[in-house]
Amino acid sequence: MKENINKRRRIKKKRYIVPVTIIILLVAFRLLLPFIVKNYVNNVLADIPGYYGQVKDIDIALVRGAYVIDSLYLNKVNADSEVPFLNLGVTDISVEWKSLLKGKIVSEIVMTRPEFIYVFEDQQGDSLSDPDIEDWSKALTDLVPIDINNLKIINGKAAFVELTADPTIDLYLNEVNLNATNLRNVVRTERELPSTVHATATSIGEGKVTLDGKMDLVKEIPDMDASFSLENASVTAFNDFTNHYAGIDFAEGDFNLYSEIAIADGFLTGYIKPLLRDSKLIEKEDKFFEKLWEGFVGFFKFILKNQGNNTLATKVPIEGDLNQVKSKVLPTIFNLVKNAWISAYKGVVDNEVDFDDAENAKNQ
């Protein structure tokens, strides 16, 4: 009788031991999971030829099916500067639950305070033409285990820096906010371009930047219909750039840029419309030939400026296969004269290019 009682007690203990052991293992796994994922991410970054990178921390949110990467940076191994090529503040990668109801397993990413800094000198060198250097963007995409359907960027920054220029050139976009949806065509309608993107930013010179577009990124060569505008940027903020490459400085004025492009099956059509308003050049006591060049620029600026609204503008048509896109020189010159003497260009996107134009131009 006593033996039966002891046997039943042992059986009861085993019943508790198994689930308790499983619970302990699950808790231990949950505690170790952030370290496992962090190690995996750091290994991926370490395996990108020509680059090095690291993450500060990883947080796991199992309930949301998500993990959060804190402070990921990436730079070239042979970079002369210590400015990270990529510096991603906080990146939240999660399963998009509403797409599961449509039978699609996709992810959404929210990036807070990401920075992309292209230092000209760091990106030069023989390694750029080395076919063994893996595309860093592909490696970062591998950090996301499933296809990305929605992408959101909050308060990002992008910049081009040339350190050896005198003075240093620093062209940047601050306060970059972007929302791209339906990138994997989870919601497929009759529209040819099912994905949408909208972005805003503040440029150097406090210009207002806006990007709107529709895309089909599932194709090997994505189709696209997009418009871009940069408005009311103080041209004096570009003096380091214009002085270095053209030898001219501005005392005042606003720079504007408008563009539309459409891509169909690898064929691009569109235009770029730069517009300079109320601009004045700085008169300097330079050497003779520098003075002569400034006078030459000032003369043609006066001749080609619309005196009614004080603008200097043109419209550059662009068209061709993506491997050999060409701008049209004669229409560009004609449009420069047209703005000055016939009809001034308006500071708006013209809304005259769409996806059908690229398809029609491709078939001609």
Report the phi/psi class of residue 181: left, alpha or beta, with left for phi > 0 and alpha for psi in -120 to 50: beta
Residue 2 in any domain: the answer is: no
The pLDDT confidence band at residue 289, using thresholds 50, 70 and 90, is very low
Does residue 19 sit within a domain?
no
Residues 215-227: tens digit of each pLDDT: 887 777 788 999 9
What pLDDT digit, counting tens, does each position of 18-63 carry? Answer: 676 777 776 776 677 778 888 888 888 888 888 888 898 888 887 7
Distance, in Å, from the CA atom of 57 to the CA atom of 203, rounded to the nearest integer, reads: 31
For the cut 60, the answer to whether the pLDDT of residue 301 exceeds it is: no
What pLDDT does residue 175 have? 97
Q: Are 320 and 198 in contact (CB under 8 A)?
A: no
For residue 188, which of 264, 95, 104 has the smallest C-alpha distance? 104
**Is residue 139 in some structural domain?**
yes
Number of domains in the chain: 1
CB 195 within 8 A of CB 213: no
Whether residue 336 is contained in a domain is answered as yes
* Domain membership flag for residue 59: yes
Please state the φ and ψ torsions of residue 253, each to the nearest 5 degrees: 135, 165
In a domain? residue 10: no
pLDDT in tens, 187-217: 655 557 889 999 999 999 999 999 999 988 7
- In whole angstroms, how far apart are CA 343 and each of 193, 253, 274, 327? 34, 21, 15, 22
Q: How does pLDDT run across 329-353, given as a tens digit for each residue? A: 666 665 655 555 455 567 778 888 8
Helix (H, G, I), strand (E, B) or coil at 95: strand
**Least confident residue range of 26-30, 109-113, 242-246, 336-340:** 336-340
The pLDDT assigned to 187 comes to 63
**In whole angstroms, what is the distance from residue 239 CA to residue 57 CA?**
41
Find out whether 75 and 87 touch, Cβ atoms under 8 Å. no
Q: Please check whether residue 17 lies inside any domain of the structure.
A: no
Which domain range does residue 321 map to?
Answer: 25-363
Is 60 exceeded by the pLDDT of residue 118?
A: yes
First to last CA, the chain: 98
Confidence of residue 306 (pLDDT cuts 50, 70, 90): low
Q: How confident is the model at residue 131 (pLDDT cuts 50, 70, 90)?
A: very low
Q: How far apart are CA 198 and CA 338, in angstroms?
A: 32
Q: Is residue 16 part of a domain?
A: no
